[in-house]
Structure 1
Amino acid sequence: MVDPGRETQYTESDVIEVFRDRTDYAEPLTASEVAEQLGCSRRTALNRLHDLQDETDVTSKKVGGRSRVWWIPVRMDG
Structure 2
Amino acid sequence: MPGRIEETTPEDVLEVFRLRSDAAEPLIATEIAESLECSRRTALNKLNELAADGHLQSKQVGGRSKVFWQPIDSEEADTHRDSSES
Per the shorter chain, which TM-score range?
A: 0.7 to 0.9
Runs of 5+ in structure 1 lacking a partner? none
TM-score, structure 2 normalization: 0.79
Q: Does 1:41 align with 2:39?
A: yes
Q: Give the aligned CA root-mean-square deviation in angstroms.
A: 1.7
User: Which of 44, 56, 68 pairs up with 1:70?
Assistant: 68
Structure 1 residue identity aligned to 2:13:
V
Match in the other structure for 1:61: 59
Sequence identity (%): 54
Which structure's relative contact order is higher, taking Cα pairs within 8 Å and 6+ residues apart? 1
Change (3 A) 1:17 1:2: same
Runs of 5+ in structure 2 lacking a partner? 80-86
Runs of 4+ in structure 1 off by over 6 angstroms are none
The structure with the greater share of residues assigned to helix is: 2
